[in-house]
Homo-oligomer: A and B are copies of this chain.
Amino acid sequence: MFVRNAWYVAAFVHECSERPLARTILGEPVVLFRTPSGPCVALQDRCCHRFAPLSMGDVEADGIRCRYHGMKFSPQGACIEIPGQSVIPPKMCVQSFPLVERHGLLWIWMGEAQRADPELIVDVHWNDDPAWPTARGYIHYKANYQLIADNLLDFSHLTYVHRTTLANAAFPNSHPQITPFERGIRLVREIRDCEASPLHAMAGRFEGKVDFWNRQVWWLPSVFENWAGSVPTGAEGAPHERPGGLHLRHFSLLTPETEKTSHYFWVQPCQFPHGDNSVIEQVGQGIAKAFAEDNWIIEAQQKSWEACPPEIQPLSVRNDAALGRVRFMINELLKQEQTPAPLHSAA
């Protein structure tokens, strides 16, 4: 079960072209494509005639043609040609999903189309700001997206999973300040006068101790914004406001594929105190390595979870506060969708 009335990242913009892209999102087959002159669009990837995947077809000037019997559909999903007959019944169409291109990402709305307000799309503008050299990546996960969310919402795992990349011995004891708001939760954490993690030390070229910060937002249901950084220790003021710091404007953007698999998009815009932007390549490699470590343990956790008898429940610890809160909020959203509020209430 997934929250449907929400924007999810369907793809990076550069993945969508005149060559159709098949992607399963929230359990539904979707085809992404653009006509030579039009915007990116998302249609159900199943011809309404005999269910062949439209993604096996060809994009033409005015739409996409099914490869099986040649039915053609407009970018809006209306059938505009049926070979061998002149009348096209109105019901002959495939579902179209709202799709918005913004800051290098394609955001899709799988719920009620009339609720698809682009104002709700999380601001990821750093991702196409030339002032922010950016690393990017995609990971296909054999795990439910909530296990990935749990991971991102409890940084105590950095010490154990990411020994050689993101580890900082102080994480388990540096409990973040958690502030819920309507659309998610905010987490703020500072660790003063600490050893920089291997990644921060490399990216910032720090030689001594640093003051470290995380200013994170979990945007429901599945976008993680993590403004992290380090600055040489010793000066006054909030670390993230001081000059000379390393700034990482990270986003992890999770999109459920099925109940047991997920799409994981990430972007990592950076600003380096030394001004040598070529470091971004190493940052990208470091993130990819660290995320492979997460993938390794989370996919094992998924299998373990599936094999576990349903009467056994996980036992919570203090560091589960944030993930517990987010799981609760997602359950509330799911309940709301089971009994949806009217769009316009009667007076």
Contacts from A to B (Cβ < 8 Å)? 29, 45-46, 48-53, 56, 65-71, 82-85, 89, 91-92, 150, 154, 156-157, 159-161, 172-173, 175, 296-297, 300-301, 304-305, 307-308, 314-319
A327 CB to closest chain B CB (Å) equals 12
Whether A68 contacts B160 in the complex (CB less than 8 A), given A84-B172, A297-B52, A308-B46, comes out as: yes
Report the separation of the CA atoms of residues A46 and B91 in the bound assembly, to the nearest whole angstrom.
Answer: 50
In angstroms, Cα B276 to Cα A1, docked, is 64
Q: Are A300 and B46 in contact (CB under 8 A)?
A: no
| A51 CB contacts on chain B under 8 angstroms | 301, 304-305, 308, 314
Report whether over half of chain A's contact residues are helix, strand or loop; otherwise say mixed. loop
Which B residues are in CB contact (< 8 Å) with A297? 52, 56, 67-68
Report B-chain residues with C-beta under 8 Å of the C-beta of A66.
Answer: 160
Give the top 10 A-B pairs by smallest Cβ distance, nearest first: A83-B172, A84-B172, A85-B318, A70-B160, A51-B304, A84-B319, A52-B301, A48-B315, A51-B305, A46-B304
| Sample (18) of A-B pairs whose CB atoms are under 8 Å apart | A46-B308, A49-B314, A49-B315, A49-B316, A51-B301, A51-B304, A52-B297, A65-B160, A67-B161, A68-B161, A68-B301, A69-B317, A70-B156, A83-B319, A84-B172, A84-B317, A85-B319, A91-B315
